[in-house]
Amino acid sequence: MVPHWVPRWPVWFFLASPRWRQTACTLRPSVEQRRWLGSRWLAGVASPLAYRGCSSASSHTSKVTLTKDRYPVQRLPFSVVSEEDLATFERIIPGRVITDPEELEAPNVDWLRTVRGCSKVLLRPRTTEEVSCILRHCHERNLAVNPQGGNTGMVGGSVPIFDEIILSTALMNQVISFYSVSGILVCQAGCILEELSRYVEERNFIMPLDLGAKGSCHIGGNVATNAGGLRFLRYGSLHGTVLGLEVVLADGTILNCLTSLRKDNTGYDLKQLFIGSEGTLGVITAVSILCPPKPKAVNVAFLGCPGFAEVLQTFSTCKGMLGEILSAFEFMDAECMWLVRHHLHLTRPVQESPFYVLIETSGSSAGHDAEKLGNFLEHVLDSGLVTDGTLATDERKIKVLWGLRERITEALSLDGYVYKYDISLPVEQLYDIVTDLRIRLGPRAKHVVGYGHLGDGNLHLNVTAEAFSTSLLDTLEPHVYEWTAKQRGSVSAEHGVGFKKRNVVGYSKLPAALQLMHQLKALLDPKGILNPYKTLPSQA
Ligand SMILES: O=C(O)CC[C@@H](O)C(=O)O
Ligand SMILES: [Zn+2]
């Protein structure tokens, strides 16, 4: 059923199909960007990544500054990998010990190209037992280990700082089982999120999480970082949807908590400790996760709003009128739209507006959902909360609309050096910091943008500049964190702490909580070999 109001809206737009633009300044996506784009790039769905100039600070031909040179961080007294260690690893995982410096370049750098380690060894186990043998040896020898999934993180948690051994989950990519009635999926940690999505969708389920990095991120990494993403509003956090985990502890002990039960109230829920621990307490090797049934009807509305107050009112109205079928409420400001148009050549689907909102509904009855959505859209349009909008009901158009929102990160990375803040704030005050920073930074910033998961109270505040500068960083920090703390917000809503935010967690966690975190770390990893320099504040 087509809602009666549709003809009042702009005729469905045609967005430019992906094409390769042959200009002098056009570059192919870098390894890191292809990693982020994943299969979207391979399938040719991604549009070209053209640089604004040929000599941007994020030029992908230049070397990223070593983390140890950019940040004040001291190597801890771990052992250095010896020839004997390499021989031991070779016995455990024959042919999967990588020491070729060229092959080690990509896993040493984060995809944003902001942090770089100097690891000389990459290990690629296939089984939990292999991970266990590797860690037992590293523990005995006091060798530091950096667990790595798809390396799509935003906070420098997935790459080494110094010469930590990189332990990749890339070859641990097997589905172990799928229960077709309950929708419980059990798989190895290195399965790529998009491949799992495809696997469960063929069985009429969906993954409870979805991220822009789905084409390359690993489920183990998602769980280790407690990734949030685009379905959080509807399906909640991984702390709720992960039912069980298998983890290898620092000394090689295999902790099998891989249950597939909805209910298991037998004392401490140990798996929760590892969700969001960023590989500092153990290496996740397998995951059991609850997948919701695939919705029969999905609609996406993309709307233009005249101000942030109207965005908020649209959200309240949306919750009231769409209630149980609402599955996402995302927003982006006009500068984000400029960036995706300018760098990625995406087409703006509605009239130019100060703010844009993407609303997704997922339900089981197309007619029922269309009627509800129709009433809602008519209401927000008539009341002036929304000035223009378009609706997509078929899969291709839905993907195109989601692309505008999902690809902001990619557009930002083509704009220059990006300072990223991922904060939780009371939704009423969510945008104030963006306005404040625009004034504070003036022309020192190329762009100050605000977008994110408004439905979850999660702002992605990003600032771009020609190049990294300590003085710009000093203007941003601790100002952004102090602002966040004043609102009793969180300095990391969903990206985690990693290396970049470890010394600011104190803005959101009280000393007693931080002390307990240190105690848990000491209990589970007494030598501190697992992902050192990450998550926990450095101790003076
Ligand atoms: O790049 C960012 O700041 C946010 C990335 C991701 O969490 C998103 O929601 O698109
Ligand atoms: Zn996000």
The atom number, within ligand 1, closest to the CA of 406 reads 10
Is residue 30 within 8 A of residue 106, CB to CB? The reply is no
Tokens of 213: 């990095």
The DSSP output letter for 443 is G
Whether 460 is in the pocket of ligand 1, judged by its Cβ within 6 Å, is yes
C-alpha of residue 454 to centroid of ligand 2, in Å = 10
The atom number, within ligand 1, closest to the CA of 422 reads 3
From 430, 460, 464, 480, give the residue whose CB has the most ligand 1 atoms within 8 Å, as the site to mutate: 460
Query: What burial letters (b/e) apply to 266-293, b meaning 16+ CB within 10 Å?
Result: eeeeebebbbbbbbbbbbbbbbbbbbbe
Question: Does residue 67 register a pLDDT over 50?
Answer: yes
- Cα 347 from Cα 156, distance rounded (Å): 32
3-state DSSP of 242-293: EEEEEEECCCCCEEEECCCCCCCCCCCCCHHHHCCCCCCCCEEEEEEEECCE
Whether 107 is in the pocket of ligand 1, judged by its Cβ within 6 Å, is no
The atom number, within ligand 1, closest to the CA of 460 reads 3
Q: How many CB atoms lie within 10 A of CB 73?
A: 16
Query: What would the pLDDT profile of 437-446 be if each residue is shown by its tens digit?
Result: 999 999 999 9
The DSSP output letter for 317 is H
Among 317, 407, 396, which Cα is nearest to 359's? 317
Query: What would the pLDDT profile of 116-141 be if each residue is shown by its tens digit?
Result: 999 999 999 999 999 999 999 999 99
Among 20-24, 257-261, 295-299, 414-418, the least confident range: 20-24
Q: What percent of the chain has pLDDT over 90?
A: 88
- What's residue 539's pLDDT? 78
- How much is the average pLDDT of 45-61? 31
Question: Any residues with CB less than 8 A from the CB of 46 and at least 6 apart, and which?
Answer: 18, 29, 37, 40
From 409, 454, 462, 464, give the residue whose CB has the most ligand 1 atoms within 8 Å, as the site to mutate: 409
- What's residue 38's pLDDT? 41
Domains of the chain: 67-168 (3.30.43.10), 175-290 (3.30.465.10), 296-409 (3.30.70.2190), 415-494 (3.30.70.2740)
Whether 405 is in the pocket of ligand 1, judged by its Cβ within 6 Å, is no
Per DSSP, the three-state class of 202 is: coil
Question: Does residue 196 register a pLDDT over 60?
Answer: yes
The atom number, within ligand 1, closest to the CA of 458 reads 9
Nearest alpha carbon, ligand 1 atom 7: 229
Tokens of 145: 């280990």
Query: What would the pLDDT profile of 412-430 be if each residue is shown by its tens digit?
Result: 999 999 999 999 999 999 9
Is residue 532 within 8 A of residue 278, CB to CB? The reply is no
- Cα 34 from Cα 46, distance rounded (Å): 9
Instruction: State the pLDDT confidence band at 26, using cuts at 50, 70 and 90.
Output: very low
C-alpha of residue 275 to centroid of ligand 1, in Å = 19
Nearest alpha carbon, ligand 1 atom 1: 409
- How much is the average pLDDT of 74-78? 98
The atom number, within ligand 1, closest to the CA of 409 reads 1
Whether 409 is in the pocket of ligand 1, judged by its Cβ within 6 Å, is yes
Query: What would the pLDDT profile of 290-324 be if each residue is shown by its tens digit?
Result: 999 999 999 999 999 999 999 999 999 999 999 99
The DSSP output letter for 296 is S
- What's residue 540's pLDDT? 61
C-alpha of residue 154 to centroid of ligand 1, in Å = 8
Whether 212 is in the pocket of ligand 1, judged by its Cβ within 6 Å, is yes
- What's residue 47's pLDDT? 29
Q: Which ligand minimizes its atom distance to the CA of 412?
A: 1
Among 41-50, 189-198, 199-208, 379-388, the least confident range: 41-50
pTM: 0.90
From 408, 414, 420, 476, give the residue whose CB has the most ligand 1 atoms within 8 Å, as the site to mutate: 408
- What's residue 8's pLDDT? 35
Question: Any residues with CB less than 8 A from the CB of 255 and at least 6 apart, and which?
Answer: 246, 247, 248, 249, 270, 282
For this complex, say whether ipTM is above 0.95: yes
Query: What would the pLDDT profile of 143-182 be if each residue is shown by its tens digit?
Result: 999 999 999 999 999 999 999 999 999 999 999 999 999 9
> What is the overall mean pLDDT for the chain?
90
Detail the DSSP E strand segments found in 334-466.
Answer: 355-363, 388-392, 417-424, 447-453, 458-465
What would the DSSP string read from start to end of 65-97? Answer: PPHHHHS-----S-----HHHHHHHHHHSTT-E
Nearest alpha carbon, ligand 1 atom 10: 406
- Cα 504 from Cα 518, distance rounded (Å): 15
Question: Does residue 188 register a pLDDT over 70?
Answer: yes
Question: Does residue 478 register a pLDDT over 50?
Answer: yes
From 32, 33, 154, 332, give the residue whose CB has the most ligand 1 atoms within 8 Å, as the site to mutate: 154
CA dihedral 51, 57, 63, 68 (to 10 degrees): -140
Is residue 507 within 8 A of residue 480, CB to CB? The reply is no
- What's residue 29's pLDDT? 40
From 211, 230, 501, give the residue whose CB has the most ligand 1 atoms within 8 Å, as the site to mutate: 211
The DSSP output letter for 11 is P
C-alpha of residue 406 to centroid of ligand 2, in Å = 9
Whether 188 is in the pocket of ligand 1, judged by its Cβ within 6 Å, is no
